[in-house]
Structure 1
């Protein structure tokens, strides 16, 4: 599997964020308490033989955390939280719309199946 590496700047921001979590108790999500540090540990664990880490998920999560920490250090916590909330709200809206479309499609397919069953003579 090809490994996608984070660059030095991303790693520096993430390490600074991990320190902020530890020293000031800043949390992006309500759990885990030291999310950035735990994901960084998983990121470095890929080189260890037998490590049970889904590397692609870890890298994507760290890239998301990098965006949050970069905004936090550049614009402040309030702005970072507002942007994070808007992103999450948009994600929920998009997922809700997709679920609703899938639900409607499933209902239509079930109605078609029921119609076929009603139109098929019993033997």
Structure 2
């Protein structure tokens, strides 16, 4: 908000509107694309699972769900990994990098 107010006081209402649109665009790109990808890589979760978890937990818990969405999804994934019947679902939610690591580990054990 301060950059918009500075632009308004210094250059007028048109500059303030342009500055506001600029910040809205940057925030949409960061929150919709960059954050889920980086979070997915760091936590070994699929990009789509991170993106979907933010919406699902946000819908279930409201604004608090956006903060707790990724940790709650990680808890669910770790819980699903513990049982043979649900391990396939946990693997679907994992990132491709983790799948490659799991297959590499199997190959190393076989050797």
Same fold (TM over 0.5): no
Higher relative contact order (Cα pairs below 8 Å, separated by 6+ residues): 1
Structure that is richer in helix per residue:
2
Q: TM-score with structure 2 length normalisation?
A: 0.36
**TM-score, scaled to structure 1:** 0.33
Q: In terms of Rg, which structure is larger? A: 1
